[in-house]
Amino acid sequence: MRHKNEYIMVREGKAQILVPNPELYKRADGVYEPAWAPVFYNPVMRLNRHLSVAGLYAWSSIRGRRPLVIVDALAGTGVRGIRYALETRNVRTCIINDISKEAFRIARANIRINKINTCVATNREANALLRDLKEARRVVDFVDIDPYGTPAPFIDSAITTVRRGGLVGLTATDLAPLSGIKPSSGERHYMATLAKNSVGREAALRVLLGLVARVAAIRDRWIKPVMSISSRHFVRVVIEVLGGARKASSMLENCVGYVTLCDDILWSEHCEKPKLFGPIWLCDTHEHEILDQAINFLQGTDYEDSDKEEAIKVLEKAKEEIGLNKVFNLTSIAKVAGVNTPRRDSVVQCIRRKGFGATSPHYPGPYIRTDADYRDVLECVMSLGSQ
């Protein structure tokens, strides 16, 4: 029997969305558990959705503003697809899909509530829907994959269905497998050799991108990541998918490979028997122009929530990461060196004095991002940590 107040209306971005009443799905500790609700809506993922809307807006305005055909393939309430349609102001057709009958019903109601005639709700298995769109030769500009846990089972369909030069957004929330904390499920889903390490958030992004790149290469396609964010309990990557067998081979050669792992330190060979970790993505994970435009977009919004400021902060920081594709955990290095962990700012200065780039990543923690080798970082940690 339906509860009278089973759904409530919330505002997110420019959308009004019917979502499950969080009061009805609380754990014993009083925290809302979205997985218990009849349709999945997690307010904690608003940050992910702000970033995703800003990313799509930025990409479509930079790459020519043609009216977009987009697929929100695992839509839940439809909040993402509806926000894309309302906020990017550039969507010609938006397919909002979910395998659940109840999600389909609510997504359809939400489309009606927001009065958007460009969106349609469908009730299909995501891979089947994407394959059908491909078979029907529909030109699809953007595919969004936002599943429970791993996006791995949907990557091939998304990459194959999107047009050449189109965009794919993927969320993963299975951070333990993806980052190497649970290597066996990580190895199954991401077809990579993984292990515990001290830079799990970075590893998670690069393991996911490594799989996406290899799957794209199977189809003679190659990828260009335009925004890659690791925050809270998710990673979100947004990639452009391009065509060309030769470029796919050169992407594999230059941007996908193994890195060494010593103790828990990635990119270190400073031990007797370094292990191999990967294949992971080795190249840049963002495009500067896209991040700039996404920030401009967010600054111009009237979102009345704290996630807007966080999204802007994360993207500002991400801009500094371009060209600096190794991440080290200063606490781990200090432990190996037998010194106290030095202040991050002083390590950044030290690395820069050696002629390399260095900054902190867009996620919190005792990390340093650099193009220097482990040995150079170690030297700085040793000299500063023992002072």
Residues at the site binding ligand SAM, with contacts judged by CB under 6 A: 40-41, 45, 49, 74-77, 79-80, 98-100, 103, 125-126, 146-148
CB of 242 to ligand SAM, least distance (A): 25
3-state secondary structure of 90: coil
Nearer CB in complex with ligand SAM: 80/369: 80
Query: Which sign, positive or negative, has the C-alpha torsion 94, 95, 100, 102?
Result: positive
Q: Where are the alpha helices (DSSP H) in 219-274?
A: 245-255
Taking the least distance from each CB to ligand SAM, the nearer of 73 and 378 is: 73
Bridge partners, residue 218, by sequence: none
Distant-in-sequence contacts of 101-108, Cβ < 8 A, 24+ apart:
102/38, 102/39, 103/39, 103/40, 103/75, 103/76, 103/77, 103/78, 106/7, 106/18, 106/39, 106/77, 106/78, 107/75, 107/76, 107/77, 107/78, 107/81, 108/78
Least distance (Å) from ligand SAM to the CB of residue 116?
16
Give least dist CB 47 to ligand SAM, A: 11
**CB-based contacts of 8, cutoff 8 Å, min separation 6:** 18, 19, 20, 21, 22
Going by the DSSP 8-state scheme, the letter that residue 36 receives in this structure is G
Tokens 């060309």 correspond to: 244
**Burial label, 90 (beta-carbon count in 10 A; 0-12, 13-18, 19+):** middle
Beta strands 256-262 and 265-266: pairing type? antiparallel
CB of 108 to ligand SAM, least distance (A): 14
Q: Which is nearer to ligand SAM, 34 or 166 (CB)?
A: 34
Q: Nearer to ligand SAM by C-beta: 110 or 179?
A: 110
CB of 330 to ligand SAM, least distance (A): 34
Distance in Å, CB of 214 to ligand SAM, minimum: 22
Instruction: Select 49 or 201, whichever has its Cβ closest to ligand SAM.
Output: 49
- Taking the least distance from each CB to ligand SAM, the nearer of 75 and 351 is 75
Distance in Å, CB of 326 to ligand SAM, minimum: 32
